[in-house]
Amino acid sequence: MRELLLIGIGGFLGAVLRYVISGIIPVKFGIPSGTLTVNLIGSLIMGFVLYSTLLVDIPVEWKILITTGFCGALTTFSTFSYETFSLMDEGYLIKAFYNVFLNVAGCLLMIYIGRQLSYSIFNISI
């Protein structure tokens, strides 16, 4: 029961932040930049937290709150998919491809950067 409450708290915070960020960041270069931004931020946080838990003792409650709750609500694959499909449906195939590339490559890069930050902060050499 406690885990569900933590997920809910993290989810609430992540969903509110996603709403705020998506509302203040305009469409850039014909792609939905708010969705890209939250996906990149969420991936960075996810990479940092998950790799940090391998290095130091972080309570499982914090891991659940941040990863499953906060990052789960902050990032949004369904919105990304819908927005990409809408671009394709409107005939903007290059913009749709660009959106997919930036989200996938960018999020993978953010996971990597999160891992590197974690290793650097906790003085682990790779």
- Binding-site annotation: residue ranges: 72, 75
85 HSE (CA, 13 A, CB side) = 6
Spell 77-86 as b/e; 16+ CB within 10 A means b: eebbeebbee
**Residue 110 to residue 95: CA distance in whole angstroms:** 21
Beta-ladder partners of 28: 31
Which residues lie closer than 8 Å to 104 by C-beta, 6 or more apart?
none
88 HSE (CA, 13 A, CB side) = 11
Instruction: State the binding site for Na(+).
Output: 72, 75
